[in-house]
Amino acid sequence: MLLKLIFFILLITVSHGTNDKNNRKKEFIATSEWQIVEQGQHLPAGLHIRHNFETKVTEAKLLDEKEKSHAISVVDTQNNDIEKNEISMDEDDDLKAQQENVAKKYKSYKELKEDLSALNLTIKLDMEVMNELFERFDKFIIDPLHNVDELANILIDFEFFVHQFDNAKHFIQSKGLQRIIFPILEVPNTKLKVLGLHVLSAAVQNNPKVQIAVYERNTIPILIKLLSNENQSIVMPTISTISKLLRRFPTAQWAFIKQKGLENISKLIENDELFIDNNFKLKILTFLIDFVTDSKELIIDSEGRKNIHAEYVSEYLLTSFKSDGWCQVIEKFVSHIHFVNFDVIEQTLILIQTTKDLCWPTFNKHEFRDKIDTLIRYYEKVLRNDQDFDMNRLVDSEYLNHFVDTIRNLTSVIYEKANFIDKDEL
C-alpha cells in the first residue's frame, strides 16, 4: 500500500513538471530584436509580427518607441527583400484619408480597362470622324466664300488626322484629292488654299504609297502653277509640299524638272520682295539641298545596287541645274549674305558644298572668293573682339569658331578644285 502511494505521488510530480515545460514553451518573451515564433507559442498583444511565405518562418519583436501601429512585414519571394507596409489599427480616419488620396492620384482598374479598350478602336474611330468631315466638307464647299470658317476648321482637322500613316491612305482612298484638295486650291481665298496645302503636305510626308497616288493624280502641275502666285503665304507652303512629295521619289523628281518646276522656283529668286525675306531664303536653300542630295543618294539603293532610273534623273537634274542658272542663283545668295543671318549663311555653305563639283566655275570667280574671304575676316575679328558689333549676344565663341572653320574648309575645297582644273588646262 505504501509503495502504491509513493508511485502515485511521483506520477503527479512528473506530470506537473511536463505541463510547466509545455507552458514555458508556449510563452513568447519579446525583445527589441526579431525572434522566431515557434509553432504553438502564444503571442502577447502589441508586437510587430512578420511572416516569410517562402520559408514559412514567423518572427516577432517589441514595438519601437516611434512606432504607433501594429505591423506585418511581407518578404518578397523573388529577391527576399523585406517591404514593410504599415497598417494603422488605431487611426481609422488617417487610413481613410490615405485611401482617398490614393484614389485621387491613380485611376481605378475599371477606368484603366475602359482606356485600354478605347485604344483598340483608335483607327476605326479616326476613319469614322474623317468620313464625317468629308460629308461636312461636301456641304460647305458648295458656297465656300460664305463658309470660310467652317471649311477652315474641317481642313485643320484633316491635317491632324492625315499625319497618321493609315489615315493618310484612307484619305486618298476616299478620293480626298478630288473631293478636298483640288476644289479648295481653286477657291479664291488665301487662308483656305494654305490650309489645303498643309493637308496635302502632311499626307505625303514619309508615306510612299500616298506620294505615288498623289503623283498619279497629276498633282505636280497644279503645285507648279501655285509657284507663280505672288502671295508669299501661298508660295512658302507650296515649296514645302513639293519638297515632301519629291522626297526619295525619282519619278516625281523627273516630272517636276521636265515640267519646268526648277525654272519656276528660280524665277521666285528674281522677286526682290521675296528675296529680302530670310524665311523665304531658308525655304529655297533647304529645298535645293534636299533635292540635289536626294538625287545623288538614290543612284545606289539600300542593297548597293545601281538604280538606272535614279541615275538618269540625277543626270537630268544636274543638266537642268546648270541650264536654269542655279549656279548663278547660289552666287546671288552669297553676294547678299548678311553677317548676322547665321541660318542663311549655314544653309548657303551647305548648298555650296553640295554643288561644288557642278558649279565650280562660278565659285571660282574673284567676286565669289572675295565674299567668302570677307566672311572669314569678319568672324575672325569677332573672335578677337576687334569688331564693334556685340556678337556675343547672338552666339557663343565656340559656335563662331566652328563657323569660321567651316568657311575655311569650304574655301580650301573650292580653291583646290580651281587649282586642279587650272593645272589640267595648262
Q: What band does 243 get if pLDDT is binned at 50, 70 and 90?
A: very high
CB distance 171 to 212 below 8 Å: no
Q: What band does 320 get if pLDDT is binned at 50, 70 and 90?
A: confident
Check whether 17 has a pLDDT greater than 60.
Answer: no
At which residue does the C-alpha cell 519638297 appear?
243
Within 8 A by CB and 6+ apart from 189, the residues are 144, 145, 148
- Which residues does residue 58 pair with via DSSP β-bridges, in sequence order? 51
Give the per-residue pLDDT at 2: 45
Global pTM exceeds 0.75: no
Mean pLDDT of 318-330: 79
Mean pLDDT estimate for the chain: 77
Which range of 5-19, 138-152, 325-339, 400-414 scores highest in mean pLDDT? It is 138-152
Check whether 340 has a pLDDT greater than 50.
Answer: yes
Considering only residues 315 and 155, tell me which one the structure prediction assigns the higher pLDDT: 155
| DSSP state at residue 42 | B
Q: Which of 75-84, 187-196, 248-257, 397-406 has the lowest mean pLDDT?
A: 75-84
> Cell numbers at residue 253, please?
523628281
Within 8 A by CB and 6+ apart from 194, the residues are 233, 234, 237
Q: What is the pLDDT of residues 275-299, one digit of tens each?
A: 777 888 888 888 988 888 887 776 6
In DSSP notation, 78-96 reads TT--EEEEE--SS-HHHHH
Helix (H, G, I), strand (E, B) or coil at 329: helix
How far is Cα 376 from Cα 379, in angstroms, rounded to an integer? 5
Express as a percent the part of the chain with pLDDT over 70: 71
- Which residues does residue 52 pair with via DSSP β-bridges, in sequence order? 57
- Closest C-alpha among 245, 224, 260, 251 to residue 314: 251
Q: Which of 118-132, 210-224, 274-288, 398-412 has the lowest mean pLDDT?
A: 118-132
Within 8 A by CB and 6+ apart from 293, the residues are 354
Angle at 243 between CA 240 and CA 244, to 5 degrees: 90
At which residue does the C-alpha cell 558649279 appear?
359
Q: What is the pLDDT of residues 365-397, one digit of tens each?
A: 888 888 888 887 887 777 776 554 555 555 667
Instruction: Please list, residue by residue across 56-65, b when 16 or more beta carbons sit within 10 angstroms of its beta carbon and e when fewer do.
Output: eebbbeeeee
Within 8 A by CB and 6+ apart from 186, the residues are none
Q: What is the pLDDT of residues 96-128, one digit of tens each?
A: 677 667 666 676 656 665 665 665 544 457 888
Axis crossing angle, helix 308-323 with helix 326-335, rounded to the nearest 10: 60
In what order do the strands lie in the sheet containing 71-75? 35-36, 57-62, 47-52, 71-75, 82-86
Q: How many residues does the chain have?
A: 426
Q: What region, left, alpha or beta, does residue 184 occupy, with left being phi > 0 and alpha being psi -120 to 50 degrees? A: alpha
Q: Cα(first)–Cα(last) distance of the chain, in Å?
A: 148
